[in-house]
Structure 1
Amino acid sequence: MAAAPSSWSWFLPLAAGVSLFKCLFINSYHSTDFEVHRNWLAITHSLPVSRWYHENTSEWTLDYPPLFAWFEFGLSQAAQHFDRNMLLVENLNYASPSTVLFQRLSVIVTDSVFILAVRECCRCVQEQRGSRDVLSRPSFVLAVLLLWNFGLFIVDHIHFQYNGFLFGFLLLSVAKHLQSRHLQGALLFAVLLNLKHIFLYVAPAYGVFLLRSYCFTQDNNDGSIRWRSFSPLRLLALGSIVTSVFALSFGPFVVMGQMPQVLTRLFPFKRGLCHAYWAPNVWALYNVLDKVLALLGVRLKLLQEVELPRAAMTGGLVQEFQHSVLPSISPSITLVCTVLSILPAAASIWWRPRGGRGFLRCLLLCALGSFMFGWHVHEKAVLLAILPLSFLAVESREDAGIFLLLTTTGHYSLFPLLFTPAELLIKVCVMLMFTIFSFAALRKLHSGSLLRPLEVLYLLGLAVVAVACEVVVPLSPWKQRLPFLPLLATSVYCSLGVCYSFLRLYASLLRAEPKPKQL
């Protein structure tokens, strides 16, 4: 049931309020990603295209697809009016006040793509009949969950990245598919892949969904495929859109014979199984199990301590390492595990297509499956599941419960990104505000408790871990002896919640389709 135009009067003030709030943090802490993007501005502005993927004056070399490089080039045209010195490749770690102002504003301004995408997603939500209270409308709740998302806020506007801009393309693409505008959705996703290749995580969901639900135009009465309804013209249209975008993006580098160099930058498999701070996934649990077995082996005199790599996994460094007891994991093993984890989801929407919501659920499982089993996964990649799950959370009671668990766990797992004392109060207060709103709004929307007793107990344990890692350990002697302990505890405990959420999402996909909610 579409909302009347006048009923959207709340959206613009909400979006404006978010943007103004972000402006308050222009001078806050920023990570090395700030220098990464400043360097990319300099590379794309000062050097010819032929040298973009060869330049290595800085350790932060260009490693995003070509469309993002052109995006940086576009930004650099505005950057030169703020401070030309930021566009000099040799000015490493340059962060003048004008540079900081420009880069912060560039993130806020390009978030307009995300705001537009949120508006489109909210238009796809079914509204409750007779609901006059805007605070209890699914579209309003969804808008707040997306626009005020805690994880996206700290990653982009304090830590520093352009995820809002990128997720804007993803959500716009999802909205177009929900509106049955599949060619537009495919075009937006193809552009997104050429902006940041991490979105390959969800490409299988797009491929299977479009082939099944767009290229086959009819189903039999039992929902099975009517093979004669396959449309080669539709497949050709999709293929033309995707290949055209990739040709425009990578074509110049193919002509220059630089594709091997570009691919080496995009897929650096020498960085090791885990990021410096372990993402809360299966490999974090695997690493800890290996460490525990190694310690037990030494204690039981089954292993010699000199044989073990000292602090190889817990040094907080990006590097390759060998496990001590368990078999070491290679990129090919993570690829096999990832494919196996998403196959049931892909098979489900092939054999039992459920329209746009089925596609969205498959997309979530592809994102989480890749997060759980991928090679060198960044902790920030959990947002690839959290943001789309917001949509399902406002429409389904069960998904709302999973959302609360995954969001609380995933957002807390991002806390170590902001490790300076000045940001402690900020991240605690902002997360509490977002979490309290999420629980209160979704509980009101679905009329009742959304979490199971064990899930509540787990979240209480998460609060204990938070106090220990953020307050107790930093004030204790352990901080000097075991500096990686808070990261280890955070990653391992959050891994349990993320794994559990992944399994619950799979259970909701594979069982019979529930009856739609009466609105």
Structure 2
Amino acid sequence: MAAPMNSEWGWFLALALGVSFIKCLLINAYHSTDFEVHRNWLAVTHSLPVSKWYYEGTSEWTLDYPPFFAWFEYGLSHIAAYFDKEMLVVQNLNYASPATVLFQRLSVIVTDVVFIYAVKECCKCIKEDKGKELLAKPSFILATLLMWNFGLLIVDHIHFQYNGFLFGVLLLSVARHLQSRHLEGALLFSVLLNLKHIYLYIAPAYGVFLLRCFCFTHSNADGSLQWKSFSPFRLLVLGLIVLATFALSFGPFIALGQIPQVFSRLFPFKRGLCHAYWAPNVWALYNIADKVLSTFGVKLGMLDINKLPKASMTGGLVQEFQHSVLPSVSPLVTLICTLLSILPALISMWCRPSGVRGFLRCIVVCALGSFMFGWHVHEKAILMAILPLSWLAVEHREDARTFLILSTTGHFSLFPLLFTAQELPVKILLMALFTIFSFTSLKKLFRGRLLSSVEAAYLLGLIPLGVVSELVYPLTPWRHSLPFIPLLLTSSYCAVGVAYSFLRLHLPLLSAPRPLSKGKCH
């Protein structure tokens, strides 16, 4: 573990206050349907008994997060009552009074304190040269990349969600492992899973890491893995922590006999392969390939247009659909593809453990693998890979290179979330500032150019793509008949960069393995 920093933390407070001020300026910005989703959950948990939380269906935005998040909303609802009690009425659909907006926005800003604290703990774990100037310090760069992350700002404080609070729990968990406080780290992740189940994406990384590097005691001088050094007691304690957390979370619903209903809300597999806004992943490219093949098939007379499935995947609707030419993809296929994509990282962490930083790399691979191949992936899930990769980016040159590509393309893919004209200057300015800082700070840190000419040219291609999608296409006559074209272009172009980043993350995993006896965890 890195030695504690002895520098003043005034700059950290300035960064935290500065980004909080920006968040306050965005209180009256556009908000998406997610705003109504969380308002409805406030009303459901406040007005109804627990037995009805996962059955209530007055709103189409039904409660579909794990029980701990439901209790989180329940706690917030008691504060919300002091702002405007009408927001807590289940029947008041799409209710958005000024007091409601103020409360909801402030609730995100205040709970981000968890994220700010987690970032501070992460920065304490960074190794750095005490003689470096502030702007070249890895801890300063990491704090800025995390707290001023473009994606978090627009998703949480414009679009509206609570990702900062949740990512705070995740980063704090990783920091605790780096500080050798493994039980606390495991507890935090168990709590996180019961706040938002999307973090199941990275659960394999946690499982393998804790089994390999915590449940095996390395008493041998060479740190070799031997079954005789396995600690059943440590495994038992870990199991009790996980079971106790899940029992506390799901216990009331087990007692009520509602587990099937809760799980049907948490895992709605009847939704389509892709979300309404295509995430820039393999399936976006797969859908586009199917579209191209079907178009050429019709023009060449090989396909009958009247017999092709309706093109629902480009209409912005969440529903099942069938591909026209390529085989349709089932949830099972996406699960198999996801597991195969993350398997090299899991095997590498087991056979060649490299401590918590190797664990952090495995988290990024698992998050990005699930993003690339998962079922009904939301575009916002890219943040689950970008944020942990920020940590690696300030420690390794090649990771910094991958981070610049992934963060730039991943953040750009979030642009369609904010489609209102008044937010256009805001998202362009915030994206530009974050991207410029990322490139300049990491270039200064590693003293040289990080990207190849081809990589730089690809990223520069985002500029004309943005101009066409945001400025030119809305002025064309096709904007009404083919409204999905900008989204299709954005998803497909960014998917190339995300896929390339994913492959780059696998390169170290495919190198010649070291002997198992040399692998150490601490």
- The TM-score with structure 1 as length reference comes to 0.97
> Which letter does structure 2 place at the counterpart of 1:383?
L
Tell me the equivalent position of 2:336: 336
- Give the Cα–Cα distance (whole angstroms) in 1 for the partners of residues 74 and 481 of structure 2: 45
Tell me the equivalent position of 1:52: 53
1:6 CA displacement: 4.3
Tell me the equivalent position of 2:447: 447
For the Cα contact (< 8 Å) 2:352–2:513, is it kept in 1?
no
Q: What do the CA deviations read for 1:7-48 (whole angstroms, capped 9, x no partner)?
A: 222111210111111000101100000000000000000000
Tell me the equivalent position of 1:104: 105
1:508 CA displacement: 2.6
For the Cα contact (< 8 Å) 1:18–1:147, is it kept in 2?
yes
1:509 CA displacement: 3.2
For the Cα contact (< 8 Å) 1:275–1:378, is it kept in 2?
yes
1:311 CA displacement: 2.5
Tell me the equivalent position of 2:69: 68
Tell me the equivalent position of 1:179: 179
Tell me the equivalent position of 2:397: 397
For the Cα contact (< 8 Å) 2:16–2:147, is it kept in 1?
yes
Map of 1:149-188 to 2, 5 A cutoff?
Answer: 149-188=149-188
- Give the Cα–Cα distance (whole angstroms) in 1 for the partners of residues 276 and 219 of structure 2: 48
- Give the Cα–Cα distance (whole angstroms) in 2 for the partners of residues 223 and 433 of structure 1: 45
Note the residue ranges of structure 2 that are not aligned, 5 or more in a row.
Answer: 515-522
1:309 CA displacement: 2.2
1:222 CA displacement: 6.3
Question: Is 1:128 the counterpart of 2:129 in the alignment?
Answer: yes
> Which letter does structure 1 place at the counterpart of 2:19?
V
- Give the Cα–Cα distance (whole angstroms) in 2 for the partners of residues 452 and 224 of structure 1: 39
Map of 1:403-442 to 2, 5 A cutoff?
Answer: 403-442=403-442
> Which letter does structure 1 place at the counterpart of 2:245?
V
> Which letter does structure 1 place at the counterpart of 2:27?
I
- Give the Cα–Cα distance (whole angstroms) in 1 for the partners of residues 155 and 72 of structure 2: 19
1:124 CA displacement: 0.7
> Which letter does structure 1 place at the counterpart of 2:149?
N
- Give the Cα–Cα distance (whole angstroms) in 2 for the partners of residues 511 and 445 of structure 1: 26
Tell me the equivalent position of 2:347: 347
Secondary structure in 2 matching 1:35: helix
Q: What do the CA deviations read for 1:178-234 (whole angstroms, capped 9, x no partner)?
A: 111110100000000000000000000000000000000117666641211000000
- Give the Cα–Cα distance (whole angstroms) in 2 for the partners of residues 240 and 274 of structure 1: 37
Tell me the equivalent position of 1:517: none
- Give the Cα–Cα distance (whole angstroms) in 2 for the partners of residues 496 and 277 of structure 1: 17
- Give the Cα–Cα distance (whole angstroms) in 1 for the partners of residues 339 and 88 of structure 2: 41
Q: 1:513 to 1:6 in 2, by over 3 A?
A: farther
Q: What do the CA deviations read for 1:296-350 (whole angstroms, capped 9, x no partner)?
A: 1111111111111233221111111000011000111111111111111101100
- Give the Cα–Cα distance (whole angstroms) in 1 for the partners of residues 499 and 225 of structure 2: 33
Secondary structure in 2 matching 1:498: helix
Between 1:246-255 and 1:219-228, the stretch displaced more is: 219-228
- Give the Cα–Cα distance (whole angstroms) in 2 for the partners of residues 281 and 219 of structure 1: 44
> Which letter does structure 2 place at the counterpart of 1:492?
S
Q: How many corresponding residue pairs?
A: 513
- Give the Cα–Cα distance (whole angstroms) in 2 for the partners of residues 508 and 391 of structure 1: 17
1:478 CA displacement: 2.0
Note the residue ranges of structure 1 that are not aligned, 5 or more in a row.
Answer: 515-519
**Percent identity of the aligned residues?**
71
For the Cα contact (< 8 Å) 1:219–1:225, is it kept in 2?
no
Tell me the equivalent position of 1:491: 491
- Give the Cα–Cα distance (whole angstroms) in 2 for the partners of residues 486 and 303 of structure 1: 27
1:87 CA displacement: 0.3
- Give the Cα–Cα distance (whole angstroms) in 2 for the partners of residues 103 and 445 of structure 1: 38
- Give the Cα–Cα distance (whole angstroms) in 1 for the partners of residues 284 and 181 of structure 2: 40
Between 1:120-129 and 1:144-153, the stretch displaced more is: 120-129
- Give the Cα–Cα distance (whole angstroms) in 2 for the partners of residues 513 and 3 of structure 1: 33
Tell me the equivalent position of 1:363: 363
Tell me the equivalent position of 1:21: 22
Tell me the equivalent position of 2:266: 266
For the Cα contact (< 8 Å) 2:344–2:509, is it kept in 1?
no
> Which letter does structure 2 place at the counterpart of 1:339?
L
For the Cα contact (< 8 Å) 2:66–2:197, is it kept in 1?
yes
1:3 CA displacement: 4.8
> Which letter does structure 1 place at the counterpart of 2:103?
F
Tell me the equivalent position of 1:310: 310
- Give the Cα–Cα distance (whole angstroms) in 1 for the partners of residues 130 and 48 of structure 2: 58
Q: What do the CA deviations read for 1:456-509 (whole angstroms, capped 9, x no partner)?
A: 111111222111111111111221231100000000000000000000011133
Secondary structure in 2 matching 1:438: helix
